[in-house]
Chains A and B, each alone.
Chain A
Amino acid sequence: MKRVLLFAMLFLFVLSSFGFAAPKKIGIILATGGLGDKSFNDISYAGALRAKEELGVELDYVEPKAIAEYEGYQRDFAASGEYEIIVCVGFDQADALNKIAQEFPEQKFAIVDMVVNQPNVASLLFKANEGGFLLGIAAAYMTKTGKIGIVGGMDIPLIRDFFLGFEEGVKWANTGAVVLPTVYVGGWADPTKGKELALSLIDQECDVIWAAAGKSGLGALEAAKERGVYAMGVDACQCYLGDHIFASLTKRVDIAVYETIKGAFLGTFQGGIFEKGVAEGWIGNCRFPDEEPFWEERFGFKHSVELPKEALEKMLEAREKIAQGEIRVPRPPEFGG
């Protein structure tokens, strides 16, 4: 009798552990900028949020304050075993993740903007050069003086990738516009210098300014506003920052994160490098008809500058051609260009 009871209990125990096993969750570790940046972190989080709602699972997130905190959060998340996938946002999480991914080979990870060569990590990369190409076309149509100025944060491959594509896009539009040599701030958090650099470009008759320089770029946008010339945004739609900003290159981290999480829950997750661009919708422009409502709703504003019809047509044509492989946008040698 006792034995029967014991077996019955054991049976029930095993059954319950199947039946009542807590459903796995989504974990996301944001970059040090934290939520509220209206850009990288917010957009990544939006992707995770969409996955949460569609899949009906729980979502946990943390906002590390310093690079040194990444490793601790990654280990905590992985060690708990509660997460189907852990998404690490930002290139500076790579070193920590390289270590943690080896410690927990069964845990699925994803990292945005950097490569971690582990079988259980999906590295999500963006072909920023293609986005630069599309934005370059818009710029070529907007300039009246025929001169376009670009401000970079640092002279590194990640930034050169944006600009190489941009310059090619301006040439492809064939409106006679030229891009002046790129100027670099030498840092991501010096808007004062970003503004001065943009002013020096405007002094050289540039009337369209583009900055890919983090917070330093905000200074460049300010310079364009002060002098009454056009500017463009980067990463997320930044056009809500001022009436003079008419288009932004959009890096759809939300789509990349959403697709990766969904794959993990549906069992199609694979480690490796996923580098995608306009063909897959990971890179775009906030003025495309299929994207414009998304951004305007997100930031609660309306684009005020009318983009020339011809410019938009050319951009859509270029998007098609890049997706088909008819146009090959150059990349820096470090990115296999």
Chain B
Amino acid sequence: MSLSLFQAMVRMATPILFAALGGCLCERVGVINIGLEGIMLTAAFFGVLVTYVTGVPLLGFLGGLASGVAWGYVIALLTVRFYGNQIVVGTGVNVFGLGLSAFLSQKIWGSRGASEAVQGFESIWVPYLGEQTFFVYLGFILVFALQFFLFVTPWGLRLRAVGENPQAADTAGINVFRYKTLGVVVGSAIASLGGLFLSLGHLRFFAWGMTSGRGFIGLAAMIFGKWTPVGCLLASLLFGLADALQMRLQALGILPSQVILLIPYLVTILVLSGFVGRATPPARYEPYKKE
């Protein structure tokens, strides 16, 4: 495997990884987050907007992250506090994210299509990984931090308990609502990093719909990874590899491009159609009502 292919794989896997990790945290507390795509797009937009206004990418980063936290609170409020249907809320987030970013880019840059170029983050050179922005390294660190948090620390145990058996967790004195909210908010914030990677790390502008389904691929990676952070990483790398490989194969010109473009989708279908064995969700995805 050539080095440039490896680096492309890592870059293509990063946004998927953030989405998968974010989704994983949400599902661990019993909330399906269909809205990952919308969260990522909103973060990508606000990241560029704040950078455009202030000229400081770091502030843009914080702005995008704040939009992820805000979405997390909205989703938690609707699904945890008010027992809303998770699929409906998530779909709402996706539609709203598309509409909001289109409306605001029209107002600010006079075009619904793309923003003006802004300053992005400089890349940092690391052996083998090459020139990558800090998002890529942050993704790897986050995987192991989350794995440790979820499966070693007592807080992680409580978080999982809240998703697996809320009644039991409640009986044991854990504040179910608080832990559920925490999981959804932190999960959404992590997903928003994926959007920020696209608009401030990989590219340096916002384009409408630039997430292009990566939030949903993230959900697939999360299921394939069996709801563990390390699993999410391996699954994301597989999807990233399929994408990077597809691009190199096209340039060889040996097969029709339509066939090669199918590869990432074929991998997704194969993976999700039980190729990896049974995938049992860790929670029942129902709102918890106190009796």
Bound-state Cα–Cα, A279 to B248, Å? 38
Q: Is A196 an interface residue (CB 8 A)?
A: yes
What are the interface flags for A1-43 relative to B under an 8 Å C-beta threshold, 1 for contact and 0 otherwise? 0000000000000000000000000000000011111100000
8 A Cβ contacts from B108-146 to A: 109-114, 117
The answer to whether A203 touches B4, judged by C-beta atoms less than 8 angstroms apart, is yes
The answer to whether A200 touches B111, judged by C-beta atoms less than 8 angstroms apart, is no
The answer to whether A33 touches B113, judged by C-beta atoms less than 8 angstroms apart, is yes
Residue of B with least CB distance to A149: B251
Q: Is A90 an interface residue (CB 8 A)?
A: no
Bound-state Cα–Cα, A241 to B110, Å? 16
- Please pick, from A34, A182, A191, the residue contacting B106 in the complex, using a CB distance under 8 A: A34
Q: Is B8 an interface residue (CB 8 A)?
A: yes
Bound-state Cα–Cα, A199 to B247, Å? 10
Which one of A95-103, A164-172, A215-223, A321-329 contacts B? Answer: A215-223
Distance in angstroms from A161 CB to nearest chain B CB is 16
The answer to whether B244 touches A183, judged by C-beta atoms less than 8 angstroms apart, is no
Chain B residue contacts of A155, Cβ below 8 A: 256-258
Chain B residue contacts of A33, Cβ below 8 A: 111-113
The answer to whether A200 touches B8, judged by C-beta atoms less than 8 angstroms apart, is yes
Q: Is A204 an interface residue (CB 8 A)?
A: yes
Bound-state Cα–Cα, A222 to B198, Å? 13
Chain B residue contacts of A180, Cβ below 8 A: 251, 253
Given A181-B252, A199-B8, A201-B251, also A190-B257 (CB < 8 A): no
Bound-state Cα–Cα, A195 to B205, Å? 12
Bound-state Cα–Cα, A218 to B206, Å? 10
The answer to whether A222 touches B4, judged by C-beta atoms less than 8 angstroms apart, is no
Bound-state Cα–Cα, A186 to B111, Å? 23
What are the interface flags for A169-203 relative to B under an 8 Å C-beta threshold, 1 for contact and 0 otherwise? 00000000000111110110111110111011101
The answer to whether A183 touches B250, judged by C-beta atoms less than 8 angstroms apart, is yes
Residue of A with least CB distance to B265: A186
The answer to whether A36 touches B106, judged by C-beta atoms less than 8 angstroms apart, is yes
Chain B residue contacts of A191, Cβ below 8 A: 114, 203, 205, 207, 210
What are the interface flags for B190-230 relative to A under an 8 Å C-beta threshold, 1 for contact and 0 otherwise? 00000000100011110111101000000000000000000
Chain A residue contacts of B244, Cβ below 8 A: 196, 200
Distance in angstroms from A143 CB to nearest chain B CB is 16
- What are 14 inter-chain pairs, A to B, with CB distance below 8 A? A34-B112, A36-B109, A149-B251, A181-B250, A183-B257, A186-B261, A189-B212, A191-B207, A192-B202, A192-B203, A195-B202, A196-B247, A200-B248, A218-B207
Given contacts A183-B257, A200-B247, A200-B251, 12 further A-B contacts (CB under 8 A): A33-B111, A34-B112, A35-B110, A155-B257, A155-B258, A180-B251, A182-B257, A191-B205, A192-B212, A196-B244, A199-B4, A222-B205
**Contact surface of B with A, Cβ cutoff 8 Å:** 4, 8, 11-12, 15, 106, 109-114, 117, 198, 202-205, 207-210, 212, 243-244, 247-248, 250-253, 256-258, 261
In the A-B complex, the 10 residue pairs with the closest CB atoms: A181-B253, A36-B110, A36-B111, A190-B212, A183-B250, A189-B209, A215-B207, A203-B4, A186-B261, A184-B257
